[in-house]
Structure 1
């Protein structure tokens, strides 16, 4: 039995993978933006079939499995791009979870329980947020104006649309945080890690960047924000 890869056609609206059409094992991947079908087939040869049936059956199954997994992986960016946030937590003490932080928070955003801080108000909070781990926290539309968030760890946090006016982020780790359309006017980023964080349409006028740790590509993206004042641009080294 011989297996051959006849074609791998790609189209704008979908992806089709198939082997030669003698006998096919098909996998349908549901719930994607574009329909996807993975088909594996094999042509038969009597002599080779008798000699290698068991071995090639295993090989065929492995190959088909790999193709199916590859198809799902290839489609995953489409899912990520269209994903929605989970419903707002109904926990009455969800805002207080910020004061406890994440007990197993790590740089990759692992957490023991989701920290949902959306719409919470921490205006001028000066003691309870400092040094907390808020890995993968949901922070959109929350208020942190004037808060002391120095030494906080916010890896993979979602803070789109949140307000951080005058917030102190000194010595904080803001790794891969989404600050899209957030208000960061007058925020203090002193010796702050900003690796992989995005500031699309964020308000940055008056923000202070001093000894900020940021990658070159991330810096170029940050410098494209037109709300940065001249002092901020000079400190960051924007050209």
Structure 2
């Protein structure tokens, strides 16, 4: 008896979105119904083995083709789903923490940088002069300490700051674009006239954070307002309902 097996194929579909700034972003879109490969396999038990041996060359070729297609389906399905969550090994560059005081000399809003900035586990507590106005595009900041630092007018684009500490940091007039602040400590941080675009604050601590004249999109605002640690004054400043 013929047994039928189905192998789902996950497709990576991309959509080209056009923005007013004429920058084109290639964004992943969720897959729709996955196509399936159906193969019929003749049982090798009993007299059906003889039938398989007498199979016509055309049918044998079809089975080979189906097998190749099935292998392709398995090897191409779910291509490195977790790759975006993997971080490179900690940099062994001497004085890597001091590179934050220089920043990315060609850093732009799209996260372009001239040299990677690995600031993980660095301590910039109470740094009052060397971080102001720096471009920290695509910086790795997880588990770093910036408590009490002056980061006014800093440009943080596509930075990864999961688990970092920014208690009492002054982000006034800064551009914070697509930064991951997951589980970061932002208690008492000052976001005065700060651009907060596309950034995430999942499980971040935002007690006593100030959001005076913060520039933020509607969708980003709705996500930020779900954070229950924001004080009533902060929620009022943001316009959370």
Provide the TM-score with structure 1 as the length reference. Answer: 0.72
Structure 1 residue 11 displacement after superposition: 3.5
Number of equivalences: 191
Structure 2 residue aligned with 1:115, among 110, 114, 117? Answer: 117
Structure 1 residue aligned with 2:74, among 35, 43, 46? Answer: 35
Task: Please tell me whether the aligned partners of residues 129 and 149 of structure 1 are also in contact (alpha carbons under 8 angstroms).
Answer: yes
Alignment of 1:201-216 (within 5 A): 201-216=203-218
CA RMSD between the two structures: 2.9
Structure 1 residue aligned with 2:89, among 87, 91, 105? Answer: 87
Alignment partners' CA distance in 2, 1:185 and 1:168: 11
Structure 1 residue 92 displacement after superposition: 1.7
Cα shift readout 1:69-91 (whole Å, capped 9, x = no counterpart): xx7xxx4582445x311000011
Q: Could you list the runs of 5+ residues in structure 1 that have no partner in the other structure?
A: 1-8, 38-70
Kindly tell me: are residues 28 and 19 of structure 1, through their superposed partners in 2, closer, same or farther at Cα, counting changes over 3 Å? closer
Structure 2 residue aligned with 1:134, among 125, 136, 147? Answer: 136
Structure 1 residue 197 displacement after superposition: 0.2
Alignment partners' CA distance in 2, 1:207 and 1:10: 50
Q: Could you list the runs of 5+ residues in structure 2 that have no partner in the other structure?
A: 1-5, 12-33, 40-60
Tell me the equivalent position of 1:167: 169
Describe the SS at the equivalent of 2:177: coil
Structure 1 residue 143 displacement after superposition: 0.5
Task: Please tell me whether the aligned partners of residues 7 and 74 of structure 2 are also in contact (alpha carbons under 8 angstroms).
Answer: no
Cα shift readout 1:165-192 (whole Å, capped 9, x = no counterpart): 0000001010000000000000000111
Alignment partners' CA distance in 1, 2:110 and 2:71: 28
**2:117 is the counterpart of 1:78:** no
Kindly tell me: are residues 19 and 204 of structure 1, through their superposed partners in 2, closer, same or farther at Cα, counting changes over 3 Å? same
Structure 1 residue 112 displacement after superposition: 1.3
Structure 1 residue 13 displacement after superposition: 8.2
Structure 1 residue 133 displacement after superposition: 0.3
Choose between structure 1 and 2: higher strand proportion.
Answer: 2
